[in-house]
Structure 1
Amino acid sequence: MPFTFSHPAVILPLTRSRYLSATGLIAGSIIPDFEYFIRLESVSNHSHTIAGIFYFDLPLAVLVSLLFHVLVKKPLIDNLPYFFRVRFQGMRNFDFPSYLGRYWFNFIVAVLLGTASHILWDDLTHAHTVSVNNIDWLQQTLRFGEIDKPIYKYLLHGSTIAGLAVVLFYIALMRKEVIVIGRPSAAYWMIVTGISSAIFWLRVLEGYPARLQMYAVSNIMVTIVSAFLFGVLTTSTLYSIFKRPQET
């Protein structure tokens, strides 16, 4: 799969629209991969299907968006490296629950657009999809030195790198906030690292089903991202509950 956080590259231009929720677009563009992260293995039975967009992806996008804005956002932004911190500072106090209550329709449309972009991207870069099965040139192989792969594989890896570059470029262009409260906490990242490491090793030591052994690298990557996300969620929740913020 393309790296999950490359997917927003496709919908970033739409975040400038006042009729669409930027949170909804970004959440929708990454949410299909969250079935992998919940399972802690490279398996998706629901999130990458047309029906699953409505019964799995949409409800999960609402939940993830609320968790991010209510519990994760402030502690995470306050502890990001300077480059990211000054650029995300402007959204720190955004009242997303109130926005969602007033503009729920805009949010839903944005999630659906983001999710559709994710599934279409995957459809062009994965084996056994509708597009790859029906577009002959995607199945043709190209050889570069010792590497001999079908075109859709090159599209997979190339679009992943390009997408991540676009996302980072877009972040670099974001307006910087001059005022930043406090300093990043080493304790925050120590807790994240401890929780993430524990989850990662518990999952790896448990082992993966035999049917997934051919996806060993993918499983490890999914587990790393999953463990990190759970670590950030848990740590940020603890900070939100027990640590008084310097500014609300």
Structure 2
Amino acid sequence: MPFTFSHPAIVLPLEEKWNKYFNFTALILGSMSPDFEYFIRFKAMATIGHGLIGFFLYNLPLCFILAYLFHRIIKKPLIAHGPKPIDSWYYNTALKPWRINSLAQVLVFSYSAIIGMITHVFWDSFTHKGGKFVILFEGLRKI
């Protein structure tokens, strides 16, 4: 995907139907995390973020850190200062505490983030010049 913030589109349906099996924050962050390397380096050069080793050594810890920062610092002001009526729709979400305080929750967060990362690489395989599906299907090379 040419735009990092379009990656969560593939994981959005999981929240509604299977939300007790996944951590939605982790799915969203995981789906964007392989590209975080670009923002940290200030250039579009991937060295680790899109590979399996990078999933565990780079992206997953970053997902934990960003999830914590989002829920502790960003979530309440973001919702409170959102346009009306969105601010009132999500008011209860802003007040809802977010914790990871058991091994089970750590595992759910971790596999949710990894699934998000896999979907990221899957989307990229359709849109990037060297992507597997771009190579397989000539029509994708012309877009």
TM-score by length of structure 1 reads 0.52
Amino acid paired to 2:49: S
Segment of structure 1 superposing worse, 45-54 or 83-92: 83-92
- Name segments (4+ residues, structure 1) moved above 6 Å: none
SS in 2 for 1:96: coil
Instruction: Name 1:7's counterpart in structure 2.
Output: 7
CA distance in 2, matches of 1:9, 1:139: 20
Instruction: Name 1:137's counterpart in structure 2.
Output: 138
Instruction: Name 2:124's counterpart in structure 1.
Output: 122
CA distance in 2, matches of 1:14, 1:139: 27
Segment of structure 1 superposing worse, 81-90 or 49-58: 81-90
Q: How far off its partner does 1:83 sit? A: 4.4
Paired residues, what number? 139
SS in 1 for 2:45: coil
Instruction: Name 1:55's counterpart in structure 2.
Output: 57
Higher relative contact order (CA 8 A, sep 6+): 2
Inter-CA distance 86–3: structure 2 relative to 1 (3 Å threshold):
farther
Correspondence list, 1:10-159, <5 A: 10-16=10-16, 17=18, 18-97=20-99, 100-102=100-102, 103-133=105-135, 135-138=136-139, 140=141, 150=142, 154=143
CA distance in 1, matches of 2:93, 2:40: 27
CA distance in 2, matches of 1:84, 1:46: 37
- Contact 2:126–2:140 (8 Å) recurs in 1: no
Q: How far off its partner does 1:120 sit? A: 0.7
Amino acid paired to 2:87: R
TM-score by length of structure 2 reads 0.86
Q: How far off its partner does 1:48 sit? A: 1.2
Computed over aligned residues only, the root mean square deviation of the Cα atoms, in angstroms, reads: 1.8
SS in 2 for 1:121: helix
Q: Which has the larger radius of gyration?
A: 1
